[in-house]
Structure 1
Amino acid sequence: MGGGGGEDEVVARARQLPWRERMRHVSWKVRREAHLDLAAACRTIAGPADPRVHEFGPLFRYTVRDDNPEVQELALDSLLTFLPVVDPRDASSLVGRPITIEKAKTIFLMFIELHAVDIFLDSMENAVKKKVQTVVIKSVELLQKTLQQFGSDVVSAERIMKVHPELLESSDNRVRKASEVLAIELSRWIGRKALRRSVIKKIAERRKGNLSELLLDVQQMTKPKPTRMLRHVFYFYHFFC
């Protein structure tokens, strides 16, 4: 009982701290309450002229990286009410609880809608370079999904193809499978010749045969059209550049 009372006292005292200190507090209970309060405050923001946009925006640098799953989930809830004032360059939220991963994917997709495509692609490239396999797989799957929804006029096929050969050569079978699905999607948008020139010729011979077989049916597929469009919005994300 005494321990619980002590924790309650810590949480109560922390309410007097500035937002940033609450978000980075050593106690996860303090951080949890801070995120609940932030989410409630975000829901009252009427628009971009609200001064709290500038006050709250930088806080999301810390919130989406919390190492406590419950706190991270609350942080993503706050973020979903505050888009687009978050730095999407860290893909670490693509690992964790399924519900956390889905919220993170939703946020990344909404960032593309809000014209932050280059920042999104920076995040995916960084995730691939870190070689944390779970993050790599989720990042490749997300690249395929964004290309499928927004098309190559929005999501740069050229930038994806810079990292694609390495993914197709991965020693992890799950990464290779996800990368093959991405190759099929790329081929639908830019054609097999362009994919062969920029990607396939750069991978080992033992990989080329299987990939070429997978791409045989692409020509018979209906030419894709984007299913999701960019929004005409005020750009907030410059706060994080």
Structure 2
Amino acid sequence: MSEDEKLLKEAKKFPWEDRLTHKNWKVRNDANIDLAAVCDSISDPKDPRLREFGPFFKKLVADSNAPVQEKALDALIAFLKAADADAGRYGKEVCDAIVAKCLTGRPKTVEKAQAAFMLWVELEAVDAFLDAMEKAIKNKVSKAVVPAIDVMFQALSEFGTKIVTPKRLLKMLPELFDHQDQNVRASSKGLTLELCRWIGKEPVKSILFEKMRDTMKKELEAELANATETAKPTRKIRSEQDKEPEVETASEVVGTGPAEGTVDDTPLEIDEYELVDPVEILTSLDKSGFWEGVKAAKWSERKGAVAELTKLASTKRIAPGDFSEVCRTLKKVVTQLFSGNFLF
């Protein structure tokens, strides 16, 4: 028996954490292979071993040794397939670690990282996934940005807007369209077209175009001309998958009609108002000198103050606040206007 074989045999007696963090990469590699095999064998998502394994992965996927990192991703994928939504508690740290260490790796590593992200979405850790994507698109290495956009495209395409929030994606796109790398911009177009399939062209154009350069608008406009607006999810989150056997049984008993409790996969109708962040305008009014201007003796200053209010209030969504004084002031302005004291 070789020295390596002796080392690996002896290491199998160690606790999981000691094996997975061992200084020898072959021991770590072997431990990840065993960890994946154990997770593959678990059929109960409440198995206590999953609670034990969960905290390991934030370090495992960040391994500096490329082959070991790949095996760690294999183990993570096996873990996520065995777990349920309770595993979401580890989502943020693990997704962040994947973004930091895996997206610039070997093609197979990137592919496995994307598969892991999709499983996090399947387990409803969508916020952790999208938070990580917001960090990924800021990576200085463009080859790490493209797989992040591609996995967002995949998540949206497979799960739909009921699971993957379009508002979060729309907030990321303007920055991506300004990226210096053409591959990033090309992937961003693909994600934009997929969004159009789910929520329609007009909401996407309305929100994106005001934040984009004219050259990019023209480019995207041409792409949007061929965009279709029909989409349907092809993949269910885990909690919905768990209901499927019961649904099928009910269908067999009742007949051919849809069973009660069947998941509605009709694309979600999106209100454009819900896609934009509310803008706080009261503070801006104070800073603009509105209150002094609207009470000024000169009609030109009053007119300028009202114009400033109009500009600020023309945003798509205004943040809640106490607008009682604004309303009282506008009432006075209207009264002055009709009495001839407010001349334009």
**Which band: TM-score by shorter chain?**
0.7 to 0.9
Q: Tell me what 1:34 maps to.
A: 31
2:168 is the alignment partner of 1:159:
yes
Q: Tell me what 2:48 maps to.
A: 51
Q: Whose radius of gyration is greater, 1 or 2?
A: 2
Q: Tell me what 1:122 maps to.
A: 131
Q: Tell me what 1:224 maps to.
A: 231
2:222 is the alignment partner of 1:213:
yes
* Whole-angstrom CA distance in 2 between matches of 1:46 and 1:190: 38
* TM-score normalised by structure 2 residue count: 0.61
- Find the residue that maps to 1:228 and give its secondary structure: coil
Identify which range, 187-196 or 95-104, moves more after superposition: 95-104
2:196 maps to which of 172, 182, 187: 187
Q: Tell me what 2:20 maps to.
A: 23
**Shift in Å, 1:9:** 5.4
Q: Tell me what 1:198 maps to.
A: 207
Identify which range, 20-29 or 146-155, moves more after superposition: 20-29
2:57 maps to which of 39, 56, 60: 60
Q: Tell me what 1:132 maps to.
A: 141
* Whole-angstrom CA distance in 2 between matches of 1:49 and 1:141: 32
* Whole-angstrom CA distance in 2 between matches of 1:125 and 1:222: 26
> Deviations for 1:159-194, whole angstroms, at most 9, x for unmatched residues?
011111000000111111111111111122122221
* Whole-angstrom CA distance in 1 between matches of 2:229 and 2:45: 41
Does the C-alpha gap of structure 1 residues 206 and 152 become closer, same or farther in structure 2, counting only changes over 3 Å? same
Aligned residues of 2:8 and 2:26 also touching (Cα < 8 A): yes
2:111 is the alignment partner of 1:93:
no
Q: Tell me what 2:304 maps to.
A: none
The one-letter code sitting in structure 1 at the alignment partner of 2:107 is: P
* Whole-angstrom CA distance in 2 between matches of 1:175 and 1:46: 40
1:146 maps to which of 151, 155, 163: 155
Aligned residues of 2:199 and 2:229 also touching (Cα < 8 A): no
> Deviations for 1:109-168, whole angstroms, at most 9, x for unmatched residues?
122121111111111111112332111110011111111111122111100111110000
Identify which range, 134-143 or 50-59, moves more after superposition: 50-59
Q: Tell me what 2:120 maps to.
A: 111
Aligned residues of 1:19 and 1:59 also touching (Cα < 8 A): no
Aligned residues of 1:148 and 1:185 also touching (Cα < 8 A): yes
Aligned residues of 1:23 and 1:62 also touching (Cα < 8 A): no
* Whole-angstrom CA distance in 2 between matches of 1:37 and 1:224: 40
- State the identity as a percent: 40
* Whole-angstrom CA distance in 2 between matches of 1:55 and 1:231: 21
Does the C-alpha gap of structure 1 residues 105 and 117 become closer, same or farther in structure 2, counting only changes over 3 Å? same
Q: Tell me what 1:82 maps to.
A: 79
Aligned residues of 1:25 and 1:31 also touching (Cα < 8 A): yes
* TM-score normalised by structure 1 residue count: 0.85
Aligned residues of 2:198 and 2:229 also touching (Cα < 8 A): no
> Deviations for 1:75-119, whole angstroms, at most 9, x for unmatched residues?
122222211445333323233233322222222112212111111
Q: Which runs of 5+ in 1 are unaligned?
A: 234-241
